[in-house]
Amino acid sequence: MTLLPASAVPATPVGLAVDVAAFAMHDGELRVLLVQRGELPHARDWALPGGLVMSGEELHEAALRVLRSETAVELEPRHLEQFHTFGEVGRDPRGRIVSVAHLAVLPHGTVEVAGEASGGHTLGAGWLSAHRPPALAFDHQSILDRALARLQLRLEYANLALEFLPETFTLPELQGVHEAILDRKLDKRNFRKRLLSQGVLTPSGERRTGVGRPAQLYRKAKNARSAAL
């Protein structure tokens, strides 16, 4: 077989895009922020927020831009990272588009937003179940699956679960975040023993009162490993 020199092979235009899997907690469930597409292809289907990267724009800037423009979310993510590149041929019927996927954790209490994107590219946005979402457009189910796997891995060597909570929280609330991300129940005694031995938490000196025994409040220790690692 004769190989053509690189200069003789016609170049295929490739678009660079970002897609964002943005997570938050709501009513003890892990939610992902999805948009309902308003145009072809996949009109009226749900999808992750995403779009092409503009000239001179950094990838994280593009991720923040599409998140805000397509969902009306104005709050800064507590955590944002690139986690995988999706470039399979045919993943987008409009042409060859390579997407750099981002994982975002939005602050506690942000599951109140749903907005219409400027320009009419989406019909709206909503926080839906991360583990049991509706059918998603393009290859976005694969992106979401990999984002969930990344999020679960982060529980093992970083403190990403803490980014889902307010500044002070109870141990049951933190365990609830772990269970929501892993999509399974954890043993209460073993969870607390392992977590308190890691030195990532410090008592806040306050207790939450209510029904039953007042609960000790904790906060992230100053020397705890950053989730951005």
For 137-149, the pLDDT digits (tens) are 999 999 999 999 9
Would you identify the CATH topology of the domain 15-156? Nucleoside Triphosphate Pyrophosphohydrolase (3.90.79)
Average pLDDT in the chain: 87
Does 226 score more than 80 pLDDT?
Answer: no
Task: State how far the Cα of 199 lies from the Cα of 194, in Å rounded to an integer.
Answer: 10
46-47 and 79-86 strand pairing: unpaired
Extract the tokens encoding 192. Answer: 């607390």
Residue 228 has pLDDT above 70, yes or no: no
- 93 forms beta bridges with none
The pLDDT confidence band at residue 117, using thresholds 50, 70 and 90, is very low
What CATH number does the domain located at 158-220 have? 1.10.10.10
What's the rounded Cα separation, in Å, for the pair 22 and 5? 43
Mean pLDDT of 5-28: 83
**Sorting pLDDT into bands at 50, 70 and 90, what band is 4?**
low
* Helical pair 171-182 and 140-157, crossing angle rounded to 10 deg: 140
Q: Using N-to-C axis directions, what is the helix angle for 188-197 and 171-182, rounded to 10°? A: 110
- With cut-offs at 50, 70 and 90, classify the pLDDT of residue 190: very high
Task: Compute the CA torsion angle 25, 27, 29, 32 (nearest 10 deg).
Answer: -50
Predicted confidence band of residue 209 (pLDDT cuts 50, 70, 90):
confident
Q: Give the domain ranges of the chain.
A: 15-156, 158-220
pLDDT band at 157 (very low <50, low <70, confident <90, very high): confident
DSSP-assigned states of every residue in 52-98: EPPTT--HHHHHHHHHHHHH---SPPSEEEEEEEE--TTSSTTS-EE
User: Is pTM, for the whole model, over 0.85?
Assistant: yes
What pLDDT does residue 227 have? 52
**Predicted pLDDT at 229:** 41
